[in-house]
Amino acid sequence: GICGTDIHVFRGEYLADYPIIPGHEFSGSIEEIGSRVKKLKTGDRVAVEPNIACDKCYNCLNNRQNFCLNWQGIGVTRPGAMAQYVVAPEKNVF
């Protein structure tokens, strides 16, 4: 679905890397997994947390991932879900 944030990204009113495929609120099923993925399998139905923390910066190491200094956002700084396929780290998939 379309969220208000997607509209702001489209209008250039929100931090984004252009060109960008929007779509940060989504669910779906897994079509393919990477070689290091352990907890998921092809066909799993999932929801995705679009905020990707680095887990290495000062804030992440102090359990403040919401203030990650190297934040990435699916649909904002990475290609989003308004495409046939989208890529997300295993830690962000539930």
Please report, for the domain that includes residue 19, its CATH number: 3.90.180.10
pLDDT, tens digit, 9 for 90 and up, residues 43-88? 999 999 999 999 999 999 999 999 999 999 999 999 999 999 999 9
pLDDT at 40 over 80: yes
42: pLDDT strictly greater than 90:
yes
The per-residue pLDDT for 75 is 95
Show the domain range for 89: 1-94
pTM: 0.91
pLDDT at 14: 86
pLDDT confidence of residue 2: 87
What pLDDT digit, counting tens, does each position of 17-28 carry?
889 999 999 999
Binned at pLDDT 50, 70 and 90, residue 16 comes out as confident
Domains of the chain: total = 1
In angstroms, the CA 42 to CA 81 distance is 18
Residues with catalytic annotation? 5, 8
Tell me how far apart the alpha carbons of residues 61 and 6 are, in angstroms, rounded to a whole number.
30
Q: What is the DSSP string of 17-55?
A: PSS-----S-EEE-----TT--S--TT-EEEB--EE--S
